A = this chain, B = another copy of it.
Amino acid sequence: MAVRTPDPDPDDGFGFDDEPSANANPAWLTDIELEQARRRLPMLYVEAVPVITDGSGQVTSIGVLLRSTPLGEITRTLVSGRVRYGETVRDALFRHIENDLGPMAFPLLPVSPTPFAVAEYFPIPGVSAFHDDRQHAVSLVFVVPVTGTCEPRQDALEVTWFSPEEAASDTVSAEMEGGRGTLLRQALAHLGLLR
């Protein structure tokens, strides 16, 4: 399991740190309890594919987070994080976009609460297209146009903006964590941009 650098909100990012979080709501689980729950219950996640659009709403670029693992590997991922107890899906989506892209990203959240895709991550590879060795997570995935400036957090090196063609490529797909290259292609298909 990845050991990650501390960050202000450790148990909500895609990295799932074990460091205790001091400001936790008493209703929330401690990190140890959360760790146990991850092995006993499916965890609910939200994920966002950030995009830039032209004036007519057509997507021109797709944003992918580049990050460096503690072992020095470079991987790519999407905006991703857990839904907290008592939190709406919409609020969780907004919180994780702000966490991962910074407060100046100015996302346009979708008007409909229905995701364009549901991604099922299993700890055992091969059950589905998606894999997360720490947990069984079920993720509601949304495409989210951003209109401001994205400033990724400390554990993300940058947001890379790809053209639809690049985002669909085998190269980018192979660099995506946990099978999320499939999710990227599903997003492109949903946008009418997969050839």
Chain B's closest residue to A117 (CB) is: B114
| A109 near B27: Cβ-Cβ < 8 Å | no
How many protomers of this protein does the assembly include? Answer: 4
| B136 near A86: Cβ-Cβ < 8 Å | yes
Q: Which of A137-195 contact B (CB under 8 A)?
A: 138, 140, 143, 145, 182, 185-186, 188-192, 194-195
Interface size bracket, A side: 35 or more
| B88 near A57: Cβ-Cβ < 8 Å | no
| A56 near B109: Cβ-Cβ < 8 Å | yes
Chain B's closest residue to A51 (CB) is: B111
| A112 CB–B CB distance under 8 Å | yes
| A39 near B116: Cβ-Cβ < 8 Å | no
Select A41's contact among B29, B58, B122, beta carbons within 8 Å.
Answer: B29
| B112 near A190: Cβ-Cβ < 8 Å | yes
Chain B's closest residue to A109 (CB) is: B57
Please give, as numbers and ranges, the residues of chain B lying within 8 Å of A145 by CB-CB distance. 108, 111
Select A42's contact among B59, B85, B90, B182, beta carbons within 8 Å.
Answer: B85
Residues of A within 8 A of B (CB): 27-29, 33, 37, 39-44, 51, 53, 56-59, 83-91, 94, 108-118, 120, 122-123, 127-129, 136, 138, 140, 143, 145, 182, 185-186, 188-192, 194-195
